[in-house]
Amino acid sequence: MPDSPPPPGPWFALFTEIGILGQLSRAMLEARLPPGFLQPHFSVLNHLIRVRDGQTPLALARAFQVPKTTMTHTLAGLERGGLVRMAPNPRDGRSKRVWITDAGRAFREEAIAALSPDLAALTARFPSDRVAAVLPVMAELRAVMDAMRDEDPDDPAQPPPPLVR
């Protein structure tokens, strides 16, 4: 078996595309944000609106699949800019809760507005029907990989599947 193994299946190819698309979309967004703000800042604000306010930093870290230290850093940036407000959690003295401020809402809306020409240009070249068509597949794949991460017994991590909840 002297053959050099080709990357198995379409997985490598897909992950390569995903990686590059991630960088391109990130660059597109960040070109429209005020200096000092990056994609994670926008994404967190967006999440606070789309999902809900008042979550803990750890919940946000899990939602974005980043280490909690990274989320601490991102939230500190948002708080410095007055885009979120953080307060101790009365229910749990260890944790905090995070709310978006009016300035944060405005920031998000301005970013979306600033981005709309880019998205329009994109839609002209790549109809959003096609995006809508692949979206459920990508979402499901994300969910599957997300779940695997919490299961993998080979990974020096989590206890076996949470039996309750």
Q: Which parts of this chain interact with a copy of itself (CB under 8 A)?
A: 4-5, 7-29, 31, 39, 43, 46, 49-50, 64-66, 105, 109, 112-113, 116-117, 119, 121-123, 125-126, 128, 130-135, 137-142, 144-149, 152, 154-155
Q: Decide if residue 92 touches DNA (CB under 7 A).
A: yes
State in angstroms the smallest separation of the CB of 150 from a copy of itself: 11
Paired tokens of 4? 């050099």
On the 0-12 / 13-18 / 19+ scale of CB atoms within 10 A, 83 is buried
Q: Which stretch binds DNA (CB under 7 A): 59-67, 118-126, 127-135, 142-150?
A: 59-67
Rounded (10°) CA dihedral 120, 52, 27, 122:
-20
Binding DNA (rule: CB under 7 A), the pick from 34, 54, 67, 82 is 67
Nearer to a copy of itself, 30 or 79 (CB): 30
Asked if 30 contacts 39 with a C-beta cutoff of 8 angstroms, the reply is yes
CA quadruple 122, 127, 130, 136: dihedral sign: positive
Asked if 112 contacts 46 with a C-beta cutoff of 8 angstroms, the reply is no
Nearer to a copy of itself, 39 or 96 (CB): 39
Q: Decide if residue 36 touches DNA (CB under 7 A).
A: yes
| Alpha helix positions (H), 31-101 | 39-50, 57-64, 68-80
Neighbours of 139 (CB within 10 A): 10
Nearer to a copy of itself, 16 or 95 (CB): 16
Residue 19 binds: one of a copy of itself, DNA, none (C-beta under 5 to 8 A by kind):
a copy of itself
Binding DNA (rule: CB under 7 A), the pick from 16, 25, 70, 128 is 70
DSSP assignment of 11-40? HHHHHHHHHHHHHHHHHHHHTTSPTT--HH
Q: Which residues bind DNA (CB under 7 A)?
A: 23, 36, 38-40, 56-59, 66-70, 72-75, 77, 89, 92-96
